[in-house]
A and B are shown apart, each in its own frame.
Chain A
């Protein structure tokens, strides 16, 4: 290769990296009550963010030139809230056409124009897990997104370096969609287990076939050809390899227990249960497995499998040593996760610190990003939320939300119309009626239930 070409290529790859790097900022948040989560509460403390990372937490810090100054006197500073279960910022939630769609990826459908992202920021939420829906026993891979509202480039939302995750689902949703809607397995919780065991087994065979091919293809006289490439099985093989965290929509104790058994049999260890309304009934088993739980604060009774739930779920799980988070699964609820977490003070008497962990470091652990976010520590990402009062108080108002050191929400400067690309043809005003229980988890499955 000639030198000039080489240089051009080098240069090209260099610019590519630069173009992909995220926008970051500098800001100093002064004199607030800092809820570090992992290191107690620090009064009258400054938090300095440089180049998008927390560079220093202390008193009377010197701000670098050009850094934004924010006076948080009398206010509360906490890490940006993390929602381990949400469907905002994506254009497609369910590829509901097959019980197993491990090959799809919500990261392919990111929607930076979704105004819900801004509304979430206005609730102090800086990261959400843009989960695939729960129509399929094995749904799709899901992107962990940073709420960098203001960009039009979908990839800008993706949290670079976040581990891969995949959505599984148990119970009524997959059995209703596939057994009920399409008359194919699963129609029962027995069928759901069979789907997992089949998928994992096929994934293992697939992995072995490729291993065999790759080991031999360059040998002389090898007559085999490449196994048929299958993205679905590729993904499942990666789950078996331990490269992907399972996030499983679940409600009933028996089905939660079932998936743990299946995972044990296939050596799968990274397991987080979502909703997991009856998790409290198998809390000792969850703790023993090392499975984590991401729950609603108080949702119940909207379907039969959540009829025997309790708002004390988070407290029981926490007391039993299960890493627990509180999630939204809703574009409405995500705006006040701090309040949802606060309900655990009432239901089960968690401490304030325990309650705050439910929406910060614990969901970070569940998403495998706790080394980067979820607490205020030097070196972590500059994702911060500032509240007018203690965030667990009903009177607390989120006032400032910072992502990677950039102010993405400031109550002082909050224009009404935050749409990025308004539709110029939209004439008759859209009024959203208050859906009693909007189950975004089942979005894109409507076609199955049309007459």
Chain B
């Protein structure tokens, strides 16, 4: 009897959804996900378990959890529940149509602009967001790009109507560690020019950092005097204060082996709490990174090797090689419109040495830890945010379907422009003849 009621509710819900031209709304409340295989990531797998969502949080997980009377029950027989996948570096929400500069909001003018926040420019209504979140990628660090200090990256959930509703409690300035190598075949500068320019950039980076330190010192000194005086308005320096004081970690984009080495030396020398991002040649410096204890965000896994003489699968193997050496490794797609491929990036990393379990961690709990939000995200645990997704199987396999996605306890409709186009055009009417 009870089952029939739920079935009715389900049918009714479905009836209100697919009116064309209108987007379904997310649903909030108490949910009971029953009979599921719950892959907690941090506490093993619960077979035939139940997961209760209340007030946006995971209230309980277990095999003998009582289903609250006010809960909407979703029968997950034969299905698996995973924590929402975190893309630790992308541009989703900051870009709509790649080739159109008017829709690109990730690179502002200026070499030193740490105060520019990507969270400001995120478009909650981007068509890209639904297309991607239905795959189970629920959360992403969105990155600025450009000069040496291109701005502040922010962690967002792919649901919400204002940036604040999307914000997932982590932000950090990005430093593009100056590249000392040739940037590609198109880079026609002489070896000497390259060297000089890199030296110039590195000294500029150091100078900015040292200035910010000085600014923070002055700020502290003035505060200590307690007469309400503040240092001169200087937004670039102001933005950097928490980072030079070591209160928050800094993102350092660095890729070439040589640059990684220099970056390690610099952060160690200055006692900087750093997260390295990019790190496409991390495998060459894996031991050094492990020794320095610097966490790494790497990807896309699906890329070509950095050098023409590298092994063809070097980019696939990179994450695993670092992880095996003892580095904390999270993955990113670096993409925008297709961050839905995050599980496949993880799958390739898994196949080429990282193993499935570690690869899953690299897109869930590891980035959550790196960003200091592992009390909220990254695994299925009581008291954490109900940000999760329900699948027919291994999320790394393309044959797997995603059946439900929850973000902050909101049951996200599994539709997007792409699914709507499918529904409309699979059997187009009229066909050839009108």
Contact = CB atoms under 8 A, between A and B. Distances in A.
The answer to whether A and B touch directly, with their CB atoms under 8 angstroms apart, is: yes
Contact of A310 (B100, B347, B421): B421
Interface stretch (A28-36, A139-147, A162-170, A417-425): A417-425
B398 A394 contact: yes
Contact of A431 (B255, B336, B394): B255
Interface in A313-354: 315-316, 319, 331-333, 335-336, 339, 342-343, 345-348
Interface stretch (A4-12, A129-137, A432-440): A432-440
Given A331-B304, A346-B398, A429-B256, A394 B351 contact: yes
Nearest to A346: B398
B247 interface: no
B52 interface: no
Interface of chain A: mostly helix, strand, loop or mixed: loop
A310 B422 contact: yes
A106 to B, nearest CB: 19
Contact of B351 (A308, A342, A395): A395
Given A300-B337, A339-B344, A309 B418 contact: yes
A419 B306 contact: no
Interface string B165-194: 000000000000001111111010001001
Nearest to A425: B191
Interface stretch (A73-81, A219-227, A278-286, A377-385): A278-286
Contact of A434 (B280, B307, B336): B280
A431 B337 contact: no
A312 B181 contact: no
A397 interface: yes
B1 interface: no
Interface stretch (B10-18, B308-316, B361-369): B308-316
A432 B398 contact: no
Interface string B281-305: 1000000000000000000101111
A307 B398 contact: no
Nearest to B281: A431
The residue among B257, B422, B425 with the most chain A CB atoms within 10 A of its own CB is B425
A281 B258 contact: no
Interface string B328-365: 00000011111011001001101110001000000000
A301 B123 CA distance: 15
Interface stretch (B60-68, B78-86, B146-154, B426-434): B426-434
Contacts of A336: 302, 348
B99 A302 contact: yes
A100 interface: no
A429 B337 contact: no
A280 B302 contact: no
Contact of B309 (A281, A419, A436): A419
B304 A432 contact: yes
B33 interface: no
Interface string A95-117: 00000000000000000000110
A119 B304 contact: yes
Contacts of B351: 394-397
A412 interface: no
Contact of B397 (A283, A308, A393, A414): A393
A308 B307 contact: no
Contact of A332 (B127, B304, B311, B418): B304
Contacts of A200: none
A347 B340 CA distance: 12
Contacts of A342: 398-399
Contacts of B350: 394-395
A119 B316 CA distance: 12
Q: Which of A119, A303, A346, A437 has the most CB of B within 10 A?
A: A346
A298 B398 CA distance: 12
B194 to A, nearest CB: 6
Given A285-B432, A419-B309, A395 B183 contact: no
Contact of A301 (B128, B180, B425): B128
Nearest to B428: A284
Interface range on chain A: under 10, 10 to 19, 20 to 34, or 35 or more? Answer: 35 or more
Given A304-B97, A418-B309, A431 B179 contact: yes
Nearest to A343: B398
A421 B127 CA distance: 46
B417 interface: yes
A431 B309 contact: no
B98 interface: yes
Contacts of A395: 347, 350-351, 356, 396
Nearest to A319: B426
Contacts of B128: 301
A428 B334 contact: no
A394 B342 CA distance: 12
Interface string B80-95: 0000000000010000
Contacts of A280: 421, 425
B108 interface: no
B47 interface: no
A430 B418 contact: no
A311 interface: yes
A332 B306 CA distance: 12
B100 A430 contact: no
A143 to B, nearest CB: 22
A116 B308 CA distance: 9
Contacts of B181: 428-431
A153 to B, nearest CB: 21
Interface string B398-434: 1111000000000000000111011001111001100
B302 A346 contact: no
A410 to B, nearest CB: 12
A281 B425 contact: yes
Contacts of A116: 304
Contacts of B281: 431
A430 B399 contact: no
B307 to A, nearest CB: 6
A170 B37 CA distance: 49
Given A283-B425, A434-B334, A345 B398 contact: yes
A273 interface: no
Interface in B251-267: 255-258
Contacts of A434: 280, 300, 303, 334
Contacts of A309: 418, 421
Contacts of B191: 427-428
Contacts of A429: 181-182, 256-258, 307
A419 B334 contact: no
A434 B91 CA distance: 14
Interface of A: 115-116, 118-119, 122, 172, 280-281, 283-285, 288, 298-304, 307-312, 315-316, 319, 331-333, 335-336, 339, 342-343, 345-348, 392-397, 414, 416-419, 422, 427-434, 436-437
What 10 pairs across the A-B complex have the smallest Cβ distances?
A394-B347, A302-B98, A301-B337, A312-B422, A303-B99, A310-B418, A417-B309, A310-B421, A342-B398, A122-B312
Interface of B: 91, 96-100, 127-128, 179-185, 187, 191, 194-195, 255-258, 280-281, 300, 302-313, 334-338, 340-341, 344, 347-348, 350-352, 356, 394, 396-401, 417-419, 421-422, 425-428, 431-432
11 contacts: A301-B97, A312-B422, A316-B425, A332-B303, A348-B422, A392-B399, A395-B350, A418-B309, A422-B308, A430-B306, A433-B179
